[in-house]
Amino acid sequence: MEVLTVAARRRRDFLAFCRIECGLATLTLEAYGRDLDLLASYLNERGNEDPSTATMADLTNHIRWLSKEREYQATTVTRHLATIRVFFRWLRAMGTITRDPARLLERPTAWKRLPGAMTAKQMKTLVEFPSPAQGKLWLRDRAMLELLYGGGLRASEVCTVKVNDFHETIGSLAVTGKGGKMRIVPIGVPAIRWTLKYLAECRPALAKVGGGKDGFRLLLSFSGRPLDRVAIWQLVKKNAALAGLNDVHPHTLRHSFATHLVNGGADLRVVQELLGHSSITTTQIYTHVTREHLKEVIANCHPREMKMRKVNVKPLQPSVSRRGK
């Protein structure tokens, strides 16, 4: 029987609590586990085998180490800090500690980064790249790219979609998002067309190879098993690189989906529902638009501008200086 270290027991019990009592999603539990492993490793290297005895100074130095030594982005450090806070609140609730050393930790300052989005032309290049020249699985890749962009899906969402989650007649997918939240996502004609083609001409053969191990998932690997999140990332990056596009990952397609909708005039609340964001604040980052688009909105929507155009008033000319006269 394997003897667990103190840190491993704390980790096991905490994750069991999160899974059973809080009902957290598998991906969230995995992220918590990775963060706690990193914390335990850091403390252990400094002679502390029990995370519950960590002081505020220990945790502060750990957060600083993530930023300086590991060079984590501020958003990643913030997520890691959230794990630490939840973990130590749980330790206090369980009576393991009497004071919470994480309660006063401050989040690192993070600049709001605009999400990377491709142009409509670049997206067309990417989603239309898979062809018979890329091998037998080109139809699967085409359907995958169309679904990611057509529905603004996360990699973790598209890989868990099952065949019966695809509804051709109403043109939608039933998607399970973060926290196990279900939503219906309309996907559009191109995504429907290529998904149907994949289901008819490619998936049956893959499912047969898998011998019933497909779990009824929509997207399958060459071995007939469901694609996981990592495989989705690898396939998107591979197709993008072959299409001559750099620094593209599944979230780039999601960002492009949202940005193109907002720039096309879609209501932000609608985009929020489509993306599955619980807060409108998260969706507001997609309100970044081009300066040309802003000028166009003013010209077409501002009542004074519309009136000037209606009476065909010419733009004002620079006034002539009276100096020297």
Residues recognised as catalytic: 154, 178, 251, 254, 277, 286
Residue type, 289: V
The 3-class SS string of 86-149 reads HHHHHHHHCCCCCCCCCCCCCCCCCCCCCCCCCCHHHHHHHHCCCCHHHCCCHHHHHHHHHHHH
Cβ(105)–Cβ(81) below 8 Å: yes
CA distances from 325 to 144, 213, 273, 318, 319 (A): 72, 91, 65, 17, 14
Asked if residues 254 and 148 have their Cβ atoms less than 8 Å apart, the reply is yes
Cα separation, 54 vs 288, in Å, equals: 42
Residue 49 to residues 4, 54, 149, 248: CA-CA distances in angstroms? 12, 9, 46, 40
CA distance 39 to 42: 5
22-52 b/e (C-beta count within 10 Å ≥ 16 → b): eebbeebbebbbebbebbbebbeeeebeebb
* Whole-angstrom distance, CA of residue 97 vs CA of residue 54: 10
- Rounded CA-CA distance 150/266 in Å is 15
At 162, give phi and psi (nearest 5°).
-100, 165
CA 49 vs. chain centroid, Å, equals 34
